[in-house]
Structure 1
Amino acid sequence: MASIIANFISSRKKVKKQYRDISKILAFSLLPLSGFTTDIYVPSLPDMAAALHTGNLQVQLTLTLFLVSYGVGQLLIGGIMDSYGRYWISLVSLIIYALSSLAIALSNNIYFIDVMRVIQGLTVSAIIIGKRAFFVDLYTGEKLRHYLSLFSIIWSLGPILAPFIGGYLQMAFNWSANFYVLAITATIMVVLELIFSGETLKKPKVFDLSKVTKAYGSMLRSPPFTFGVLIVGTAYSITMIYNMTGPFIIEHHFGLSAVTAGYASLVLGFAWLCGGLAGRITREMPFRSKLTWSNNLQLLLVTFMIFTTVLLDNSYFLLCFAFLIQVCAGYIFNNLLTHCMGMFPENAGIAIGLAGGLNLITVSILSYGVVELLPARDGLNLGLSYLVFAAISLMARWCIKDNRNK
C-alpha cells in the first residue's frame, strides 16, 4: 500500500526549480487566508443582518461555524496530507473555497451561508496546512527556522488588513462585495498555483488512525497541554469577541460608519501583532513568569476598562483599553501556543494539529457562548466579556500550577 501511494505521489506535478521562489511567495500569500476569511466582512456584520432580515446573533454564528470547521479540519487533514500529498488537496480546496465564496455573495439565505461557511472552514484548513508543510518539505536548518519565524507575522496581516479593506467595500458596495473579492482572489491564486506550484511531499507515510488516536489520548491526558490550550483559546477569544461585537458597538451604539469600524479593527489587529512581536523580543525570559505577569496585567486592564466605561462611555477610551488588552492576548497566545506545540517533539505534527484545532474549537464555543450571554450592546458588555475570558485563563493557570505541585 505504501509503495502504491509513493508511486502515485511521485507521478504528480512537482515544483520546478526555476519556479521555487514564485511558489514560495504564493505559499506565503495564502497563509493569511484564514484571517481574511473571518475579518474582511466584520465591518459589514450590521448591514448583513439587516439585508438578510435576521438577528445579530445569527450573522455572528457565521464566524463561529467557520472557526469550528477550521478547527476540526486541522485535527484531521494533517495526517491525510502526510499520506496523500499537499498540492492537489490544497488546489482542489482552493477551487471549492472560491466557489463557496461566490455562492455566499449571491445568496440571501442565512442558513445556506452557514453551510458555505462550514465548507470554507474545512477548505481553508487544508490550504493553510498544505502551505505550512510546503516550507517543511523544501527547507531545512536555519533557512527553515527563518521561514517558520515569519509565519505568525505574515498570518497577522489578515486581521490587520482585512477589516480595513472590508470597511471600504461596505461603504462603496454592500456586504456581499467582501465575498466577491475573496472569490476573485482565490480564482487568481488557483491559476497561479496551476502554473507555478506543485507537489512537495517526498516520502509519504501510511495513514495509521490508531497511532494518531493513541497520540491524541496521551496529549489530552496531559494537564499542562490541555489547560495550556484552554488559555490559548481564551486569548484568541478576546480578539474574536471584538470581531463579533465591535462593529455593532461602533456603528449602532456610537453611530459611526463601517469605515470607522474597519479602521478600529485594523488598529486592534496591529495590537495583536505587537503582542506577537513582544513575545519574540522576550523569548529568553522564563516562560512561567512571562505567562504570570501578562495574565495579571490583562486582568488589571480589563478591570480598569469596566470601571472607566461605567463612568465614561467613549469610543476612544474603549479602543485604547481594547488595544492594550489585545496586546496582552497576542503575547499570551504566541508564547503559549508555541510552548504547547513543542511539548511532544516525538509527535510534533500531531501536536501542532491538535493544539491548533482545539484552540479554534475552544474559541468558537467560548466566543459564541459569551456573545449570547452578553450581546453586542455597548463597551460595558465588551469589558464584561473580556473579564469572563481573563477569569477562565486565570483559573486554567491555577489548575496547571496545582497539578504541577502534586
Structure 2
Amino acid sequence: MSEPDLGTAEINRNRAFYSMLIMVPLGGAATDIYIPSLPAMKNYFQADRFAVQSTLLIFMAGYGVGQIIAGPLTDSMGRRIPILLSTILFVIACVGIAMAPPLWLVIALRATQGVLVAFSAVGARAIIADCYESSERIKAANWMTIAWATGPILSPALGGYLQIWFGWTASFWFLAGWGTIVAIIAAILLPETRVHSLRQPLGKAFAVYRRMAIDRIYLPTALGMACLISVMYGFESLAPFYIQTDLQHSPVFYGHLQLLLGCLWLGGNFFNRIISSNVKVIRSITAAAGISLLISIMMLVLDLSGMFNVAALVVPTGIIYFLMAMIWPNGYEKCLARFQHSGGSANALVSGLFIIVSAVFTAIATLLEAPTAWPMWVLYIFVTAATLFVFAGLLRKEFDHVIK
C-alpha cells in the first residue's frame, strides 16, 4: 500500500485529533459522573457505605489494571480496533447497570467498565504521540489535557442534576449515549495512527514494562504521582456521604462543589506552567507538598476538635487540590520522557499505577467510617507526606533544574 500524500496525511491527523478530544474525557466521566448518586444508591440497595463506595473503588482497580494491559496491546495492535471494540462492550455494560440489577452485579459491571474504558483512554491519549513531534506535540498535549479535565470537572455537576431529575440510573444511560458516539466516531471517523513499522509482537511490547519497573526515575515518580492523586480520589469517595448524608446537602450542591474543586485542580496545572520557567521545579514541588501536608495536619486537629462543616471540608481541600496539581505535570512529563518510543506503554503504566495505588489508599480510608471527616484528613496526611518524601527526597536531583 502506498504512503498517503501530505494532504491526505494532514486530513487524517486532524480527524484523529478531533476524535481524540471527544474520546479522552469518557474515562474521567465514567469515574465521576455518578458520584453525587452514591448516597441515593445506598438507600436504593439498602447497603452500607463501603458496599456502595466499592462501586467506585472496583472501577478504579479495573481502570488501572486495564490501562497496564492496554498500553502494550495498543502499541502492538494499533489504536483504532481496541478503542472500537472496548467502547462497544463499555456501552453494553452501561446499559446493564442502568437496568438496576442487584448491587453485586453493579459492582461486577463497574469492574468490567473500568477495564474496557481503559483501552479507549490509552488508545486515545497515544494518538498525540503518534501524530505530533516536538513543539506541535506539546500544543496537542495541552489540548488533550484540557479535554481530559472536562470529564472529572464537569461530570459531577451534571451527575447531580441527573440524580435530582431522573434518579441514580440516569448517569449510566448518559454514559451509554456518550460511549455510543465514541464507538461511531471510532468506526467512521478515526484513522489508524499507529505506524505499522513501529508495532511489535505483544510479548516484546509487554517486555518494556520490565525496564520501566527497574528504572530508578520512572517507578518512584509514578508512585509519587499515585500518592498525590489520592487527594482527589479520596475526596470523591468519602465526601458525597459527608456532604449529602451527614451535612444534609443536595446532590446538585455536591456536584457544584466538585466543579469548583476540578477548576482549582486545572488552575494548579496552569499556574505551574506560568512559574515553571522562573522557579526551580524542586522548589515548587517541595513548597506545594509541604504546605499541603501542614494544611492536612491542621484540619485533622480542627476536625477532632469539632469543626465539621462544608467550608471546613471544601476550602482546605481546594487549596490542596491546587497545590498538588502543580506537581502533577512535572511528574507526568518526567515519566513519559524516560521511554519516548513506547508512548502507549509509558503512559499506560504510570496511569495504571497511580489509579491502583490511590484506590488502595482510598479503600483503607473508606473502611474508617466516622461521624466527621477525620479519616479523609488522615489519608491526606499520609499521601501528602509520601509525595513530599518521594519528590523532594528520593528524586530531588532529578527535578533540581529549571524547565525552559
- Normalised to the residue count of structure 1, the TM-score between the two structures is 0.88
**1:225 aligned to which of 215, 218, 225:** 218
Which residue of structure 2 lines up, in the alignment, with residue 24 of structure 1? 17
Q: What are the equivalent positions in structure 2 for 1:155-304 lying under 5 Å apart?
A: 155-204=148-197, 205-210=199-204, 212-213=206-207, 215-284=208-277, 285-304=279-298
Which residue of structure 1 lines up, in the alignment, with residue 302 of structure 2? 308
| Gap regions ≥5 residues in structure 2 | 399-404
C-alpha deviation, 1:180, in angstroms:
0.6
Name the SS for the 1:206 alignment partner: coil
- Counterpart CA distance in 2 for 1:146 and 1:337 is 16
Contact 1:240 1:363 in 2 (8 A): yes
Q: Aligned AA for 1:294?
A: A
Q: Does residue 383 of the first structure (1) align with residue 384 of the second (2)?
A: no
Contact 2:92 2:176 in 1 (8 A): yes
- Counterpart CA distance in 1 for 2:383 and 2:194 is 40
Taking a change above 3 Å as real, the CA distance of residues 327 and 210 of structure 1, as seen in their structure-2 partners, is: same
| Gap regions ≥5 residues in structure 1 | 1-6
Contact 2:243 2:310 in 1 (8 A): yes
Contact 1:52 1:108 in 2 (8 A): no
Which residue of structure 1 lines up, in the alignment, with residue 145 of structure 2? 152
Taking a change above 3 Å as real, the CA distance of residues 25 and 397 of structure 1, as seen in their structure-2 partners, is: closer
Q: What are the equivalent positions in structure 2 for 1:30-69 lying under 5 Å apart?
A: 30-69=23-62
Deviations 1:349-399 (A, max 9, x none): 433222222111111111112221x32642333222211222332343466
How many percent identity over aligned positions?
27
Q: Does residue 361 of the first structure (1) align with residue 356 of the second (2)?
A: yes
Which residue of structure 1 lines up, in the alignment, with residue 105 of structure 2? 112
C-alpha deviation, 1:183, in angstroms:
0.5
- Counterpart CA distance in 2 for 1:127 and 1:35 is 11
- Counterpart CA distance in 2 for 1:403 and 1:331 is 18
Task: Name whichever of 374-383 and 108-117 sits farther off.
Answer: 374-383
**1:343 aligned to which of 330, 334, 338:** 338
Which residue of structure 1 lines up, in the alignment, with residue 402 of structure 2? none
CA RMSD after TM alignment: 2.5
Contact 2:157 2:258 in 1 (8 A): yes
- Counterpart CA distance in 2 for 1:403 and 1:135 is 29
Which residue of structure 2 lines up, in the alignment, with residue 4 of structure 1? none
- Counterpart CA distance in 2 for 1:84 and 1:20 is 19
**2:119 aligned to which of 123, 126, 129:** 126
**1:96 aligned to which of 89, 92, 101:** 89
C-alpha deviation, 1:17, in angstroms:
6.5
**2:387 aligned to which of 386, 393, 396:** 393
Contact 1:156 1:273 in 2 (8 A): yes
Q: Aligned AA for 2:286?
A: T
C-alpha deviation, 1:104, in angstroms:
0.6
Deviations 1:181-220 (A, max 9, x none): 111121133234333223222324222525633x323332
Taking a change above 3 Å as real, the CA distance of residues 180 and 223 of structure 1, as seen in their structure-2 partners, is: same
C-alpha deviation, 1:336, in angstroms:
1.6
C-alpha deviation, 1:262, in angstroms:
0.8
Contact 2:129 2:343 in 1 (8 A): no
